[in-house]
Amino acid sequence: SQQGEEDPQALSIQEGENATMNCSYKTSINNLQWYRQNSGRGLVHLILIRSNEREKHSGRLRVTLDTSKKSSSLLITASRAADTASYFCATDKAGGTSYGKLTFGQGTILTVHP
Amino acid sequence: NAGVMQNPRHLVRRRGQEARLRCSPMKGHSHVYWYRQLPEEGLKFMVYLQKENIIDESGMPKERFSAEFPKEGPSILRIQQVVRGDSAAYFCASSPLGQGTYTQYFGPGTRLTVL
């Protein structure tokens, strides 16, 4: 499997429900970031969590990071139709000469039905 | 403060032609990253540049692809003699520092179609 792999690949829910997406990675990281991409558009940065942080909130978003399991989760509460998009996690590998380049997973396609 | 700008947004080329993609980072950002996204896939790192320097080009194909970030002007990703497999969305991102502790801000992308 690849660094920064999301699960599930696709998620379909009703408006108002919560959506949880998971990301697993293989190497030690400096930080992990979540991005959203609407169909055919660029990426929008959602949240960054550093390797020494365990949980972070931003509005309706909650991100957790478990470095012992090399995994992260993104929770979107009270989802809206406008949350329909692809969600990617991206890791910045620690050490070496990574120079902050991000490794992206394949993404989770979230569909929120009105 | 304008975001990362990329142009053109859409580019159509015939096989064998050259494609030049431009990226202007956010004001105050001196670090630029280029990524490629194939259909239905995540983004793949290509190259990381600072002004007048290529820092990491480990994700660049060995042939036909080059990148620059001159002292003045935008960063350019150049693809020579394009082939159908080069069809993809190319995104650039910028950050104020390249040590991985700052968010990378992405441009809207250039969608390259090779006929």
pLDDT digits (tens, 9 = 90+) for A39-94: 878 899 999 999 999 999 999 999 999 999 999 999 999 999 999 999 999 998 87
Collect all residues of chain B within an 8 Å Cβ-Cβ radius of residue A30: 100-101
**Interatomic CA distance for residues A96 and A98, integer angstroms:** 6
**Interatomic CA distance for residues A94 and A101, integer angstroms:** 10
Asked if residue B100 lies in contact with residue B1, where contact means CB atoms within 8 angstroms, the answer is no
pLDDT for the residue numbered B78: 98
B84: left (phi over 0), alpha (psi -120 to 50) or beta: alpha
Kindly state the DSSP code that residue B104 receives in the 8-state scheme. Answer: P
pLDDT for the residue numbered B101: 58
Residue B14 class from Cβ within 10 Å (0-12 exposed, 13-18 middle, 19+ buried)?
A: exposed
Task: Give residues with Cβ within 8 angstroms of B113, minimum separation 6.
Answer: B10, B11, B12, B13, B87
Per-residue pLDDT tens listing for chain B (115 residues): 579 999 999 999 999 999 999 999 998 888 899 999 988 778 999 999 998 899 899 999 989 999 999 988 999 999 999 999 999 999 999 988 655 556 788 999 999 999 9
As a dihedral over the C-alpha atoms of residue A57, residue A35, residue B108, residue B60, rounded to 10 degrees, the angle is 140
Nearest to B60 by CA among B72, B48, B75: B48
pLDDT for the residue numbered A1: 35
Collect all residues of chain B within an 8 Å Cβ-Cβ radius of residue A48: 103
**Interatomic CA distance for residues A110 and A95, integer angstroms:** 33
pLDDT in tens, A16-43: 999 999 999 998 988 899 999 998 788 9
Kindly state the DSSP code that residue A83 receives in the 8-state scheme. Answer: G
Nearest to B77 by CA among B41, B113, B38, B49: B49
Collect all residues of chain A within an 8 Å Cβ-Cβ radius of residue B109: 41-42
Residues of chain B whose beta carbon is less than 8 angstroms from a beta carbon of chain A are 31, 33, 35, 41-45, 48, 55-56, 59, 91, 93, 95, 97-109, 111
A2 confidence band (pLDDT: 50, 70, 90) = very low
Cα of first residue to Cα of last residue in chain B, in angstroms, is: 37
